[in-house]
Amino acid sequence: MANHKSALKRIRSSETKRLRNRYQAKTTRTFIKRLKNTTKKKEAEELLKTVSSMLDKLAKKNIIHKNKAANQKSSLTKLVKSL
């Protein structure tokens, strides 16, 4: 166990950030699945805006790599255009 106060605080803050990052990433994955399963173009376009925004936020906070976010947005846009 850590001996310094700063190390104890770092452990607490790291755990809080880890849980928040997991929640945001999982929520984004859920929205991506919902977008892939939709068949209505209008609904898919609305979901695409939301998912793109979520991916950008994850990339900005370094939860996922920026290229992964770009690749996912590109493939999802292609999917919506094909509906």
Rg of the chain, C-alpha, whole Å: 17
Euclidean distance between CA atoms 10 and 16, whole angstroms: 10
Q: pTM higher than 0.85 for the full model?
A: no
**Residue 58 near residue 64, CB atoms below 8 Å:** yes
The residue among 28 and 3 whose pLDDT is bigger is 28
Range of the domain at 32: 5-82
* Other Cβ atoms closer than 10 A to 49: 9
CATH of the domain at 36: 1.20.58.110
Indicate if the pLDDT at residue 1 is higher than 90.
no
| Four-point Cα dihedral 63, 64, 66, 69, nearest 10 | -120
Q: How many domains does the chain have?
A: 1
Tokens 């805006």 correspond to: 49
